Amino acid sequence: MSSTTDKIKGLVNDAVGNAKQGIGSATGDDKLRAEGKGQELKGDAQKTVGDAKDGIKNAADAVKRGL
């Protein structure tokens, strides 16, 4: 999976997780709130993986250029 794909999936999971938390809070549904928090954390992790992939690629490109 590319870094961009990881970041996009992370943003989607983050947004859906936040929405679930909001709905869970509004309706008093603790299970939905917890599910939303889990999905938000998954999204954060996916975005971090995407950022790490970018960092590795940038470092490898710099080595190739002799920097």
Whole-number pLDDT of residue 66: 85
| Residue range 5-47, pLDDT digits in tens | 999 999 999 999 999 999 999 999 999 999 999 999 999 999 9
Helices and strands: H and E segment counts in the chain:
2, 0
Whole-number pLDDT of residue 31: 98
Domain boundaries, position 58: 3-64
Percentages of the chain per state (helix, strand, coil), in multiples of 5 = 90, 0, 10
CB atoms within 10 A of CB 46: 21
Euclidean distance between CA atoms 38 and 31, whole angstroms: 11
**Domain count within the chain:** 1
